[in-house]
Structure 1
Amino acid sequence: MPLVIAAKPYVSSLHNFNIVLNSHQVSLTALPPLALYIHFPWCEKTCPYCDFNSHQIKKGQSGFDEKRYIKALIKDLETELPNIWGRQVHSIFIGGGTPSLLSSEAMDELLCAVRARVNLAPDAEITMEANPSSAETEKLAAFAKAGINRVSLGIQSFQDEHLKALGRIHNGVEAKYAVAIALKHFKSVNLDLMYGLPKQTLEGAKADMDATLSFKTPHLSFYNLTLEPNTYFANFPPQLPSDDEVDAIFEQNLALLSAAGYQRYEVSAYAQKNQACKHNLNYWRFGDYIGIGAGAHGKISYPNKITRQVRERHPESYMQAMESKGNALMESKDIAAKDLPFEFMLNTLRLTDGVAINTFSERTGLSLSVINKSLTEASGKKLLDNHPSQLKATALGLRYLNNLQEMFLD
C-alpha cells in the first residue's frame, strides 16, 4: 500500500487536531495518555507454554538480588524522565515473570521511588501480576499496603490435572484461597483463565468457568492456550483438543460470561461495568508507555516522532548495563510513517468497540486517507464495521483478527 503524503494539514472534525505528514516526520499537536510498565524477570519455575521474558531461579540459589534490581529499575526510570517532562502517568503495571516474588519492602521502595520521580495521577491504577502459590498469597495484604490497588492472578485452571499439565506450581485449593484473599485487599482483581488445555473437555471447561464466576471478580482474562515458538510446548507439543472442540469451549464459556454480566471489551478481556483494565486499554488505544526492567518495551510520542525502545533482555546483562553505562537500551528507533497504520491497527482492532475514527490521525499523525484502500477492502470482506465514526472489527473480523490486521501492512 503506497503512503499518501498530505498536501495540507488533516483537520479532525471531532477534536480539531491539525496533523501534518511530510516525507520526513509526523507532527502531533497533542500527546496520548502515558503509562508505566515495570518488568520483573524471575519465576520459581518457567511454564512450558510461556514465551515472556522470564528466567527460572536456579536450584541451590537463594533467589535473586532484589536490592540490586530495584536500584537498577529506579535508575532506569530516571533515564526516561527527560522524555516525559510535564506528562502525567495514569497507570502502572508490574508484570513478569512473577513480580509477587518481590518482598513487600522492595515493592514499597519501588513505588515510593516512582511517586517521587513522576507525576502520578491521584487515581492511578497500579497492577501487579501474582501467582496463587501459598507463599505469595501470604504477602498480598502487604502489597496492598505498599500501594498496589489491582492484582492479576495467574489461575489458568482450578483443576489439578490441568495445572499439572501446564507446569503450574499451585493447585486448585491454593488458587481458590488466593482469589478469596485478593478480593479482601484489592480494589480490583483479575483472574487469568486458559481454555483449550491438554485433554480438556467441554464439561471440564464449564467447571473451570463456573468456579471462576463464583468469585464475581471485576475482571477476567479468558484466552486460548497456544503453542508459541521457543517454548517447551513448541518442541514437545501436548495433545490438545481439536479446533472444533476449542471453538465449542469458547462459545459455551462466552455465553456463560455474558449471562454473568461480563462484557467482552477486548479479544481476551472481560469486565463488569466500569472495570476494564485502564493500563491495557491505553496499550490498545495506541497510547504511550515507559518500559523499564529487563526486556521491557516502551513507546513514547514526541511532537515530531513516535519512538519504540527495548531494554537488555537478560536480568544480569540489564543490571550490569545500568551499573556501568547508566542505560540498558538495546534498541531505540523511530517508527517509520509507513509502519504506523499497521502498528495502530494491530492494537486498536483488538477492542470490540474499536476506537473513534479520528483517533487514527490523533495517535499516528497521518491522514486517514493513507488507509482508505485497506478500510474499503476490509469492509467489503465483512471484517470491518461500516460505522461512520468508529474503527471496529465485526464479529467475523474478531474471529479472523490476524487476517484483518495484516490488511494494514505497508
Structure 2
Amino acid sequence: MRKSQIDRGVYNQIGSACQEQNENALALYVHWPFCVSKCPYCDFNSHVRESVDQETWRSALLADLAHEARQTPGHRLSSIFFGGGTPSLMPPATVAALIAAAEAHWGFADDIEITLEANPSSVEAARFADLAAAGVNRVSLGIQSLDDSALHFLGRAHDADEALMALGTAQSVFDRVSFDLIYALPAQSAEAWAAELDRALSFGTGHLSLYQLTIEPGTRFATLAAKGELVPADPDESAALYELTGEMTAAAGLPAYEISNHARSGEESRHNLAYWRYQPYAGVGPGAHGRRGGAFTRRHRKPENWLAALARNGHGIEEEKALAPAEQGVEALLMGLRLAEGIDRARLDYPLDRAAVARLAAQGLLAEEGTRLRATPAGMLLLDSVLAEIVA
C-alpha cells in the first residue's frame, strides 16, 4: 500500500493472484459511520443518528483525506474502499467529491478498483447508477441471507426479494459485484446452507464473502447468549459447514482465496488483498485504521469526537505510532496466513518458531513450498492456534 523502507524490509510480497506489487501503490479506505439501525451481530464502528449534516460531513471527510495525502506524497492509488456503517447512504455527490479529491491528491492507477459497501434496499439500489457515475466500479452488497426468517433473526431491514432485486440492479450497473452471506446460524442444517449457497452461486457474481456467525462482545447477540436466550452453532458443525462451503465454491469456480472470501480468478478484491499482503494503506473517517510509512494510525471512533479532533487538529487521528520491524513482521504474518497463497518467508523480516512450523506441517496444518508458507484448509480452521504456535 505505500513506499517505505520499513514496509519493504518487512513484507513486500509479490502476489500471485491479482496484482503486481508496486512500491508506490497506496490503498485508501474511507469510513462512513452511519446506519439506519444497528444489527444485533455487528461490532463494527456504526452509529444511528436521527439526522446527518451532509455538508459538514463532506467537508470533514475531504479535510481528513487531504491530511493523509500530505503524509503520503509520491504515491498512486491502486484502490479505494468505502466502508461502514452503510456508505450507500452517502449522497452520490459526496462520493464523487471524495473520488475526485483522491485522484487530485494522489493520481489513480490505470485499473483502479473503487468499491462501495451497500445495503440491498430498494432506496439504496435507486442510487446505484449515480454512484457508478461518481466513479464506483465495484459494489459489495450486504445481503447476509436469502431466507426471510434468517434475515429477521439477523435484524436486517430488507427481505430476500428486495435483496435479489438490488442484486439485479447492481449487476446491470457495476463492472464487478460481490455480496455477503452469513452462515452457521443457530440450528442451521448442512442441507439448508448447501441449498442457500447453491442458489447464491447461481447468480453469477464473481465474488462472495461468506462469514460464519460469531458472537462479538458488546453486541445484542452477546447479551442474548449470556442470558442463554441464544445458543450459537456447535463448533464441530460450524467446521463442517466451513469445509462444505470451500468444496462448493471451488467446484463452482470461486475458490477461497482468503478464509471467508471466494472469487473467480481475477475477481478477487484488490483492496482487501492489499491489507492481507501487508501493503500500505491510508484510512480516513471515524475509527479508520491505516498503515503508512512504517506507522500505525487510528482515528477517533465516535463521529462527534472525530469531528471535534478534525476541527482542532486538521485531522481525525487519535493514535499514531511507529511500528518496530518485529511488530510489522508479526502483523504481516497474521494477515498473510489468512490468504490461500500464504506468505513468502524470504520477504518476512521476522523469526518463526521453525520447530513449530515443522510440527504443524507434519500434522497437515501448514505447507511449505520453497520459501512460501501457507495454511492448509485444515489449518485455516485452526488458524488462531497455528499462529500462536509459530510466532517466535
Same fold (TM over 0.5): yes
Residue 304 of structure 2, aligned match among 313, 316, 319: 316
Q: How does 1:10-409 map to 2 (within 5 A)?
A: 31=23, 33-57=25-49, 61=50, 63-237=51-225, 238-301=230-293, 306-360=294-348, 366=349, 369=351, 372=354, 375-376=357-358, 378-409=360-391
For residues 49-107 of structure 1, the C-alpha deviation after alignment (integer angstroms, 9 at most, x for no partner) is: 111100023xxx3x311221121111111112232111111000000000000111221
Contact 2:361 2:367 in 1 (8 A): yes
Larger Rg: 1
Deviation at 1:378, TM superposition (A): 4.1
Unaligned runs of 5+ in 1: 1-9, 16-29, 361-365
Q: Tell me how far apart the structure 2 counterparts of residues 233 and 370 of structure 1 sit (CA, whole Å).
A: 37
Deviation at 1:408, TM superposition (A): 4.4
Contact 2:41 2:215 in 1 (8 A): yes
Q: Tell me how far apart the structure 2 counterparts of residues 327 and 376 of structure 1 sit (CA, whole Å).
A: 46
234-243 or 149-158, larger mean C-alpha shift: 234-243
Q: CA RMSD in A?
A: 2.2
Contact 2:333 2:343 in 1 (8 A): no
Deviation at 1:204, TM superposition (A): 2.1
Q: Tell me how far apart the structure 2 counterparts of residues 392 and 372 of structure 1 sit (CA, whole Å).
A: 14
Contact 1:195 1:250 in 2 (8 A): no
Deviation at 1:256, TM superposition (A): 2.1
Deviation at 1:158, TM superposition (A): 0.9
Assess, with a 3 A threshold, how the Cα gap between structure 1 residues 247 and 377 changes in structure 2: closer, same or farther: closer
Unaligned runs of 5+ in 2: 1-8, 15-21
Contact 2:24 2:75 in 1 (8 A): no
SS at match of 1:205: helix
Structure-1-length-normalised TM-score: 0.86
Q: Tell me how far apart the structure 2 counterparts of residues 250 and 283 of structure 1 sit (CA, whole Å).
A: 23
Q: Tell me how far apart the structure 2 counterparts of residues 95 and 329 of structure 1 sit (CA, whole Å).
A: 18
Q: Tell me how far apart the structure 1 counterparts of residues 316 and 172 of structure 2 sit (CA, whole Å).
A: 38
Residue in 1 that maps onto 2:17 = none
392-401 or 378-387, larger mean C-alpha shift: 378-387
Deviation at 1:251, TM superposition (A): 2.9
* Identity of matched residues, %: 39
Deviation at 1:369, TM superposition (A): 4.9
> What amino acid is the match of 1:359?
R
> What amino acid is the match of 1:138?
A
For residues 155-174 of structure 1, the C-alpha deviation after alignment (integer angstroms, 9 at most, x for no partner) is: 11011100000001110001
Contact 2:64 2:310 in 1 (8 A): yes
Deviation at 1:11, TM superposition (A): 12
Deviation at 1:45, TM superposition (A): 0.7
Q: Tell me how far apart the structure 1 counterparts of residues 156 and 285 of structure 2 sit (CA, whole Å).
A: 24
Deviation at 1:273, TM superposition (A): 1.7
Moved over 3 A (4+): 30-33, 368-382
SS at match of 1:45: coil
Deviation at 1:248, TM superposition (A): 3.1
> What amino acid is the match of 2:374?
K
Residue in 2 that maps onto 1:27 = none
What is the aligned length? 372
SS at match of 1:265: strand
Contact 1:162 1:198 in 2 (8 A): no
Contact 1:286 1:348 in 2 (8 A): yes
Assess, with a 3 A threshold, how the Cα gap between structure 1 residues 206 and 379 changes in structure 2: closer, same or farther: closer
